Amino acid sequence: MHGRVKVKTTAQQEEEKRKEREKKLKIYVAARDACFSKRKEGVCDDEALQLTQQLLSSNPDFATLWNYRREILMHLETVKDPDEMQKIYEAELSFLEACLKVNPKSYGSWHHRGWVSARLPRPDWARELSLCDRCLSLDDRNFHCWDYRRMVVKVSGVPVDQELEFSDRLIGSNFSNYSSWHYRSTLLPVLHPQTRQEPPHASSPRGPQSHRVCEEQLLKEYELVQNAFFTDPNDQSAWFYYRWLLGRAEREETISCVYVSREDERVAVAFSRPINARCVGLLLVLDGQPLRVEWRSVHPRFRHSPVLICDLPPGTINDVTNEHNLTVHWTGNHTHRDCALYTGRVESWCRDTATDQELFRSELSVEKTSVLQSELQSVKQLQELEPLNKWCLLTIILLMRALDPLGYEKETLAHFQTLKEVDSMRSEYYSDLCCKFMIENTILKMEYAEVRVFSITDRNLTSLCHLDQLLLVTHINLSSNRLQRLPPQFAMLQCLEVLEADNNFLENLEGVYHLPRLQEVSLKNNKISTLTDLQPLASCPELKRLDLRGNPVTQAASVESDLAELLPSVTDLLL
Amino acid sequence: MAEEEKQLEEFEQIDFLKDRHVRFFQRTLQVLPERYASLETTRLSIVFFALSGLDVLGSLDVIDKDLIIEWIYSQQVLPTDDKSNLGRCGFRGSSHIGIPYSTKGPGVLHPYDSGHVAMTYTGLCSLLILGDDLSRVNKQGCLAGLRALQLEDGSFYSVPEGSENDIRFIYCAACICFMLDDWSGMNIQKAIEYIRGSLSYDSGFGQGAGRESHGGWTYCAIASLCLMGRLEEALSPRELDRIRRWCIMRQQSGFHGRPNKPVDTCYSFWVGATLELLGVFRYTNFEKNRNFILSTQDRLVGGFAKWPDSHPDPLHAYFGLCGLSLIGEPNLRKVHPALNITQGAFQHLQQLHQTWRSSCGQQH
């Protein structure tokens, strides 16, 4: 159903058209019926070819007919010699060209051409490439044609560097050719692969992101792409390609943190990606002995989680005079992490910090800082010439986060402001992105200060992220934001002792769930309206202080007695 | 006077003409213009557009449901007595092959008759929309027919005789398994590998490995993974963020399917529903989206076209409505973003699942 533009016609023209259509219809039906009766009888002759040709000319999307035609051709292969077949197949290719002229986007036609090309006794791949060239010159975004070209290149063994030159020519004549840039992205890694050792695991299937390009070639590509976006900064083709060039491969999967609590006899493990507790292969070894434990997510509604916990058998580690050595093995990924719990210590952990993991380096390559710096300068130059261009701003933000998230924080926030004005259609998305970066920066600051206090207030936050990085946090302050819920993911804050979230719009606290150390909760001026909203708090056994002032729930008649029943451990209640 | 008239005209321009659309779909179900002849082999999918469109409009009462249910069942390729054709079972697009009309088994063996994966998918959806309980669907046949279509690389053909193979038919397969509540119809792991392999350098999905990112294929990828319940298993949080970004950048006023292409009504659903499944549809601009969709509305004939000043067709009429439903247009029913039927039809399906499961005991 490809777009047909409305055109006015006279009544006479309409009548002529109608008569013509009726005539065509009669011929079509007759041919179709003849065709099927032939096929039914197993007839595979020239007349059958004729008939199917007639029908397919007017309806190239009749898959059954293409299949019949293939049967006929395969049958003919058994009775004719190669020279005759060459002629027959060449005629077939001409027929297909005519079909493609009528409808260059017919799946049936392209599929059949691919089939024919593969069966030609003497294929003429140059002719096929030339067909593609012509087709693309009419519509350079016709993906059927691109797909066909890919097949031809593969089967005929066209050298990759030749195809790269082809993409050079296309891009050179028109930078705004997204399909050409796409094609280039598939060619480069083949021609100039980056040599990196494959990670030892095969558990996660790899996508094309993993095919990286060697550095020397990358630098040349940066130049090409810069030419493109300097020439036309509003065309997104070059910008997406640029981002890919700057991007980096996925990090290896690791255990990022093991935390042990002697008192709770509990182990919490943080992974570099979310996993399902039931499917993961984890082995816990305590003091050299494997220990059978049940791993679970921190919340039943959060099954695919980057943090898993397990309880050790009672009495295993609770004697503070004993030292223990713990190892968690992630068997599928051939990786493990150790954690030693020393005498006299009530808890212990072993982790890579977010800085170590380069977690927030905005997925851009840190192959050479100098390269990124120079890229940043170039894009900044362009931004001065094109202050309203959103791609510049986005790319600058990206590069800044790659180079120095904290150092560039102020500038980044300013650029976000401009971005929201310049591309106001997506301003909410940018706000969300900005919040995410602010949370990341707060995590980095917390780690540099080597404290376990996370505070992000008065930032218009509407949602939380990276909660898996807050496993060790003891105090959290989220006051004066715009949060409506503390989602199940919040239960990853297994060490939390104090929660402050005043002046938000909180009505859902389901993530405040089985937090074993939580003692103090302040939720002044939120939207907590029923006792049910507070139900999750009952799962926190150490909860002593609760401030609910300024919430609708405090207006309920029996709220004090209800809360005393729901939360018996709470001694300090402020309503 | 002229000023007022102009303002009135402008108001009418953005007015949603529900009755016209109802009549548009009614006519679609009665007769199609000559230019649709090439779609005869896929007629059932056009029926789906009309039925689901009427459902979204809350106007299924204008059609004879039982009649259409019978017609759909007449397209079912049933197993023969000796079950030798199980790998060919499913639903046809229409009667174009010439098989004698029948809604009951056993199947008639015909060497060139088989189901088509997209017709099985739209056939099952259509039955659900019409309130049918799927009791006459030969599940064994449909699932065997589906298994016969999957290739080593995880993708699917559309017909057992062979055709092109790509991510579209994975989506059809996932819908079929989901509706029949039976994933033995496909090898999920291989399908996931194919889907992952289709992720392009710019974090959109192509039809297959190495192919250009496209809003339609991105929808097929994400919706399939959601139906399988494997979205977060198959894609890392970073990958999901990058996919969100690629999709969000598709909005120009309405949405386009690929960078530097014109906006097209149907992508308000393909990309919109993908964003909804990824939890970020709320960050798009609803007003611009709505204004574009309504600019393709045909005020005389009803329906929507892919572009303004073009002829409407059932596909764009349906997806235009779905696009409006996503942004909460009043008087339109909500659409399940992964299965692409109304929430009402989806609930009907869930009830069927409950009935099947309880009668099967431990089988699920």
Q: Per residue in B314-323, pLDDT tens?
A: 999 999 999 9
Q: Which parts of chain A have pLDDT scores under 70?
A: 1-9, 39-40, 42-44, 195-212, 248-250, 356-357, 361-367
Q: Which residues on chain B are in Cβ contact (under 8 Å) with A39?
A: 112
Whether A403 contacts A373, CB under 8 Å? yes
Rounded to the nearest angstrom, the minimum Cα separation between B278 and chain A is 13
Q: What is the mean pLDDT of residues B56-78?
A: 96
Q: Which residues on chain B are in Cβ contact (under 8 Å) with A235?
A: 260
Q: Alpha helix (H) ranges present in A362-507?
A: 369-385, 390-403, 409-422, 427-448
Residue of B nearest to A305 (CA): B232
Q: Which residues on chain B are in Cβ contact (under 8 Å) with A36?
A: 97-98, 112
Rounded to the nearest angstrom, the minimum Cα separation between A301 and chain B is 14
Residue of A nearest to B232 (CA): A304
CA distance A22 to B34: 9
**Residue in A64, A237, A274 closest to B237 by CB:** A274
Q: Which residues on chain A are in Cβ contact (under 8 Å) with B200?
A: 182, 185, 208
Residue of B nearest to A248 (CA): B201
Does A178 contact B200 at a Cβ distance shorter than 8 Å? no
Rounded to the nearest angstrom, the minimum Cα separation between B264 and chain A is 10
Does B212 contact A111 at a Cβ distance shorter than 8 Å? no
Whether B40 contacts B68, CB under 8 Å? no
The answer to whether A5 faces chain B, any CB pair under 8 Å, is yes
pLDDT above 60: residue B178 = yes
The answer to whether A426 faces chain B, any CB pair under 8 Å, is yes
DSSP class of B335: B
Q: For an interface test with A, give the residue of B116, B201, B218, B307 to mutate (most A CBs within 10 A).
A: B201
**Helix, strand, or coil here: B77?**
strand
In three-state form (DSSP H/G/I as H, E/B as E, the rest C), the secondary structure along A470-539 is HCCCCEEECCCCCCCECCHHHHHCCCCCEEECCCCCCCECCCCCCCCCCCEEECCCCCCCCCHHHHHHHH
- pLDDT 10s digits, B18-40: 999 999 999 999 988 878 877 88
Burial class (CB in 10 A: 0-12, 13-18, 19+), A508: middle
Does B280 contact A176 at a Cβ distance shorter than 8 Å? no
Ramachandran angles phi, psi of B343, nearest 5°:
-60, -30
pLDDT above 70: residue B167 = yes
**In the beta sheet, which residues pair with residue A336?**
A329
Written as six digits, the tokens of B206 are: 């192509």
Q: Which residues on chain A are in Cβ contact (under 8 Å) with B214?
A: 143
pLDDT above 50: residue B312 = yes
Q: What is the CA radius of gyration of chain A?
A: 33
Does A6 contact B214 at a Cβ distance shorter than 8 Å? no
Q: What is the pLDDT of residue B38?
A: 79
Does A147 contact B309 at a Cβ distance shorter than 8 Å? no
Rounded to the nearest angstrom, the minimum Cα separation between A5 and chain B is 4
**Residue in A40, A243, A425 closest to B285 by CB:** A425
Q: What is the pLDDT of residue A276?
A: 87
Residue (of B76, B116, B244) closest to A428 by Cα position? B244
- Residues B226-230: contacts with CB within 8 Å, 24+ apart? B226/B277, B226/B338, B227/B174, B227/B175, B227/B177, B227/B178, B227/B338, B227/B339, B228/B174, B228/B178, B228/B183, B228/B188, B228/B191, B228/B192, B230/B188, B230/B192
Q: Which residues on chain B are in Cβ contact (under 8 Å) with A33?
A: 98
The answer to whether A185 faces chain B, any CB pair under 8 Å, is yes
Does B164 contact A179 at a Cβ distance shorter than 8 Å? no
Whether B308 contacts B258, CB under 8 Å? no
The answer to whether A62 faces chain B, any CB pair under 8 Å, is yes
What fold does the segment set A255-351 form as a domain? Immunoglobulin-like (2.60.40)
Torsion of CA A104, B217, A3, A106, to 10 degrees: 20
Q: What is the pLDDT of residue A8?
A: 60
**Residue in A28, A205, A240 closest to B259 by CB:** A240
Residue of B nearest to A179 (CA): B212
Does B313 contact A68 at a Cβ distance shorter than 8 Å? no
Q: What is the pLDDT of residue B361?
A: 65
Whether B250 contacts B257, CB under 8 Å? yes
Written as six digits, the tokens of A308 are: 């898993």
Ramachandran angles phi, psi of A290, nearest 5°:
-65, 140
Residue (of A221, A213, A219) closest to A195 by Cα position? A213
Does B284 contact A426 at a Cβ distance shorter than 8 Å? yes
Does A179 contact B212 at a Cβ distance shorter than 8 Å? yes
Q: Which residues on chain B are in Cβ contact (under 8 Å) with A6?
A: 309-311
**Helix, strand, or coil here: A4?**
coil
Q: How many CB atoms lie under 10 A from the CB of residue A133?
A: 14
**Residue in A146, A208, A425 closest to B288 by CB:** A425
CATH architecture for segment(s) A18-123: Alpha Horseshoe (1.25)
pLDDT above 50: residue B357 = yes
Q: For an interface test with A, give the residue of B202, B271, B300, B301 to mutate (most A CBs within 10 A).
A: B202
- Residues B299-303: contacts with CB within 8 Å, 24+ apart? B299/B12, B299/B17, B299/B20, B300/B20, B301/B20, B301/B24, B302/B17, B302/B19, B302/B20, B302/B21, B302/B22, B302/B23, B302/B24, B302/B25, B303/B20, B303/B21, B303/B24, B303/B25
Q: Alpha helix (H) ranges present in B109-159?
A: 117-129, 139-147
Interface of A with B in 379-418 (CB under 8 A): none
Q: What is the pLDDT of residue B109?
A: 85
Q: Which is it for strands A475-477 and A453-455: parallel, antiparallel or unpaired?
A: parallel
CA distance A37 to A339: 77
Chain mean pLDDT for chain B: 93
Rounded to the nearest angstrom, the minimum Cα separation between A525 and chain B is 26
Rounded to the nearest angstrom, the minimum Cα separation between B133 and chain A is 31
Q: Which residues on chain B are in Cβ contact (under 8 Å) with A107?
A: 163-164
**Residue in A59, A64, A111 closest to B164 by CB:** A111
User: What contacts A356, CB < 8 A, 6 or more positions away?
Assistant: none
Burial class (CB in 10 A: 0-12, 13-18, 19+), A493: buried
Residue B74 Cα distances to B88, B94, B107, B111, B115, angstroms: 15, 9, 11, 18, 12
Q: What is the pLDDT of residue A415?
A: 96
CA distance B122 to B145: 15
Q: What is the pLDDT of residue A198?
A: 46
User: What contacts B335, CB < 8 A, 6 or more positions away?
Assistant: B56, B269, B273, B322, B325, B326, B341, B342, B343
A42: left (phi over 0), alpha (psi -120 to 50) or beta: left
Q: What is the pLDDT of residue B15?
A: 86
The answer to whether A182 faces chain B, any CB pair under 8 Å, is yes
- pLDDT 10s digits, B242-253: 999 999 999 999
Rounded to the nearest angstrom, the minimum Cα separation between B55 and chain A is 22
CA atoms within 13 A on the CB side of B194: 26
Q: Where are the domains of chain A?
A: 18-123, 216-248+359-433, 255-351, 451-573
Does B202 contact A209 at a Cβ distance shorter than 8 Å? no
What fold does the segment set A451-573 form as a domain? 3.80.10
Interface of A with B in 447-506 (CB under 8 A): none
Does A207 contact B35 at a Cβ distance shorter than 8 Å? no
The answer to whether A545 faces chain B, any CB pair under 8 Å, is no
